[in-house]
Each structure stands twice: as structure tokens, then as C-alpha cells.
Structure 1
Amino acid sequence: MPAAAPSLAFADGKILLTRPGGGVGLVTFNNPDKRNAMSLEMWDGLGQALVALRDDAEIRVVVLTGAGDKAFVSGADISQFEQNRHNAVASEAYAQRSAAQRALLADYPKPTIACIRGFCLGGGLQIAMLTDIRFAAPDCQFGIPAARLGIAYGYDGLRNLVSLVGPSQARLLLYAGMRIDAAEALRIGLVDRIMSQDELLPATLDIARTIAGNAPLAVQAAKITIAEVLKDESRRDMAAIKQIGDACMDSEDFREGRRAFMEKRKPAFKGR
């Protein structure tokens, strides 16, 4: 069995990439002194980590989490606002610099899971909403404080929020700038499961390894098809759905899955 690839650090150590095994890559927001608030450098580092894991054939699922137990990501680094977001032109330049990383996560070819502890606010919530699945600890706090800061929350973030919780709950969160706890987030569909603080990361990694152990083309087919279902009917790429479906049926993994079932053993999928 090949040796595990070394851990990597980006953004002066504020973004960490580790490989905990089982086909899983782990990205950690490592700025606990600021409750993992995102600086521009951290956005750049996040993109570098995601590209590294995307291009690693051994990695099939990516988990995102925050260092410590105080925050996933508490939002943007407010200390950079005076320099980088002091007016509309500067704010647009700031948004453009992080846009590539958000787009990368939005269209990521591998399943992604957010493992959330503590504060998950503003841009941090946007990151979580861009992942496929969100697991949370009971003490989490979610919110979008844009109205309290005098800034507008972007279209992409709002589109994802509305798709998860609906327009009325999105209005309540945005208009009031209120925070909600994990139980309320689960009730309205913002997160998918609540786990205890101690079991959250181990259980998340176990689920990630379960996904990684399934046929990669079949998982990819589910990811692609669900993404198309969420689009307006006129914008759906039905050809892409058929293409990935045909690829599954013609794959070595489909044959391996049938053989493993008949032989009552665990399949060894190769993603082809």
C-alpha cells in the first residue's frame, strides 16, 4: 500500500490539507485566533487545496472543517474591510478575487462535506452551502450578518440559501441578520444532521469513507443529476445525465459490482 501523501499548508498555514485515509481529503480552516475568519490569502489557499485534492486520483471525497471548536468559518476577516472593501469598486475587486474559489467549490467534481462546529456566519455559511452535505455540532450558530454591516449578500450565496431553506426563511435570516442554532438549522434544511461535538469529525470521516468506497462513477452520476434537477428545466443538460448514465453501465465498476454481489464480497471499485 503506498505511503500517505504528506500534509500541505497554504496561506501561511491558515489552510491545511491532510489525507486521513480511505480516499478522503480534509481541508481545515486554520485561523482559530480569529475564529477562522477568511482573509483574501485564505481564499487563495482554499483554491490551491481544492485543486490539489481534485487532481489527486486517490482522493474521492473532500471534507471541510474549522480548526478548534469555536468556529467553522465566522465570516470574512473584517480587519481587511477598510483596505479591501471600503467602497463599491473595492468590494467588487474583493469579490472577484474570491469568485474563482467559490466557483471551484460550486462545480467541484468530487463529493464535498462540511463538518461544522461553532460559528458558521456570512461567507463561512456560503462556503458550507456550496458543499454537497452539511453536518453540525449542537452548539453551532448560523447567520448572515450582512444587514448589520451595511453590505449586500451576493447572488450566488442567496441562490444557494433559497434552494436549501426556501424564500421566506431566507428573508428572515437576511432581513433580521439573526443567528439560529443547530436545531433550527436542521429544521429548516440548512444542515443535514446534528452530531455530538466528540463524534462529529470521526462520524463525518466515516461517512466520507463510505462514500469513497462506493463506485465513483455512480456517485458522480448522482452528483451531476441532482445538480441538473435543481436547475430550471430550460437550462438542464439532459445529455450530460445520459452520458454519465451510459458511462456507469459500460464501466468496469458495474461489472465488478455485479460480481461482488454474486460472490458475497466487498467490491473493489476503480472509477472506470
Structure 2
Amino acid sequence: MKQIRDFAAGRIRAESHDGVGLLVIDNPERKNAVTAAMWRSIPHAVHWLCGEAGARAIVLSGAGGRDFSAGADISEFPVVRKDTATARLYEADNSSAFAAIRAARVPVIAAIRGICYGGGFGLAAACDLRIADDTAAFAVPAARLGLAYPADAVQDFARSLGDQMARRALYTGAAMRAAELLACGFLLNITTPDTLDDKVLTLAETIATNAPLSVQASKLALRAAAEKDDDLLREAEVTGASTFESADYAEGRRAFAEKRKPVFTGE
């Protein structure tokens, strides 16, 4: 059954169907720039998809078929970033959105086409997997605006781009093409524009059909390694150990013996 819910007056759309969640940045007339209200709504949308909607994998994309996201909506800056106090509140909303993607219980896949700049690039960097089409362009223009990028998001860039590419992106603000980011490992694959959606959906469906507890344990362990977090490592160990007595493990063994595809329930 398809479930749909809108956030930020419809500018953030969430859908779930057959275990695959869709999280859509819907502001195409401004190249899917993210307003303050949209930043605040992203954690709520992720929470809904992972919880009530039952998503086992999430695809993050931009609406309109042209751009992923131009990043923060700069037209709001005279109000939402007018001084230190307001800028810190705004940055906290940014960080909460990045953290929601990064720490989502299920894998999040970015489907990237066109512009992927600034905060949009940050959202993609927080994802588990990223596939782009050959129109994609990436940049972090903070240094050209006289701003510092949120420190937690800088860490996402360091992990996903690698040290040298992250430094280049942050120090220069220069645009980069998809081929460069495939070469450094930021992207899993590059597709043509007409095949991007199908490639990403196929990947999400493959993840969604696997045992949820197994996938969650793997994501926790990978995060623990990347973030050097002992608490996450212990959580990954507990989640992994829970699979030994799970109904899904029993189902996996039965399906293997019966030479059929398993049907996992997450229990």
C-alpha cells in the first residue's frame, strides 16, 4: 500500500511503497533550493518514512527532473542568517537535517541530476549511496559567500569525497563534474538522464527485499567505523547478535533449502 505525506507545505514530499521510501525536495522553480522550513522538516520526514511508513530503503531526489538541489535558499539569508544568533539557529537546523539522513535506520540513496550545490551537496554527502546522471554538477560555494560550512557536514565531505577532494571543494568553491566524483568514490555509478530513476529504484528495491535487521546492523557498523564511535559499534554488535534468533534468519535458511526467494519481515 502506498503511503504519502507532505511536510513544509508540500516542499518536502515523502512516499513509501513496498518497502521503498521516496524523499523529494520539491522546490523546482528555485532549483530545489531548501528553505528554513524545509530544513526543519527533513528530520520529521525521515522519521516518518523509517517508522510509520515502514521504508527499508529511502531514495532522496529533487523534483522537476532537472536539479537535485541548489542548496540553502539564499533569498532568506537577510532574515534567517542576519546575525550570529540567527545564523547559529539556522545552522543547527541544517545539521539536524544532515544528521537525520546520516543516522537514518535504513540506507538512504541520493539520485542526483543537474545542480547539487551547497546544502544539497551536503545532503547527498550524508547519504549511504549516491548515483548521478551525466548532467550532475557539484560545488560547495560557502567560501565564495563568506560563510563557514557546518562542521559536521564537513566531516561528511571528508568521508565521502576523500581528504584531497574535500579540501579542494571547500577551499575553492569550484564546480566539479560527475566523472570526477565517480573517480574519487563519491558516486557509485553514473547513468544517462533517462535511466537514473530506474537504476536507483532497482538498487533501493534490492536493499528493501533483504533482511532489515541485517542491513541495519551493517549500516551501524559502517557508521561506527567511519565516525570512530564506540557507542555505535556496541549498538551494531547488539543488533547483529539479535539476527541469530530472528524469524528472518529462520526464513533465510528455509528459503535457501527450498530454493526460493526469502520473504523477510524484519522480525
Band of TM-score, shorter chain: over 0.9
- Listed as ranges, the gaps of 5+ residues in structure 2 are none
Residue matched to 2:14? 17
Q: Return the offset for 1:97.
A: 3.1
Select which of 77, 92, 115 maps to 1:96: 92
Select which of 92, 100, 105 maps to 2:101: 105
Q: Deviations over 1:138-166 (max 9, x none)?
A: 11000100111000011111111111222
- Listed as ranges, the gaps of 5+ residues in structure 1 are none
Q: How do 1:103-182 residues align onto structure 2 when only pairs under 5 Å count? A: 103-182=99-178
Residue matched to 1:204? 200
RMSD (Å) for aligned C-alpha atoms: 1.5
Q: Return the offset for 1:244.
A: 1.7
Residue matched to 1:32? 28
How far, CA to CA, are the matches of 2:55 and 2:237 in structure 1? Answer: 25
Residue matched to 2:213? 217
How far, CA to CA, are the matches of 1:52 and 1:9 in structure 2? Answer: 11
**AA paired with 2:14?**
L
Residue matched to 2:73? 77
How far, CA to CA, are the matches of 2:107 and 2:241 in structure 1? Answer: 20
Q: Secondary structure at the match of 2:68?
A: strand
Residue matched to 2:262? 267
Q: Deviations over 1:209-228 (max 9, x none)?
A: 11000011111111011111
Residue matched to 2:2? 4
Residue matched to 2:56? 60
How far, CA to CA, are the matches of 2:46 and 2:123 in structure 1? Answer: 13
**AA paired with 1:120?**
C
Residue matched to 1:248? 243
**AA paired with 1:118?**
G
Does the 8 Å CA contact 1:229/1:236 hold for their aligned counterparts? no
How far, CA to CA, are the matches of 2:43 and 2:159 in structure 1? Answer: 24
Does the 8 Å CA contact 1:11/1:42 hold for their aligned counterparts? yes
How far, CA to CA, are the matches of 2:169 and 2:92 in structure 1? Answer: 25
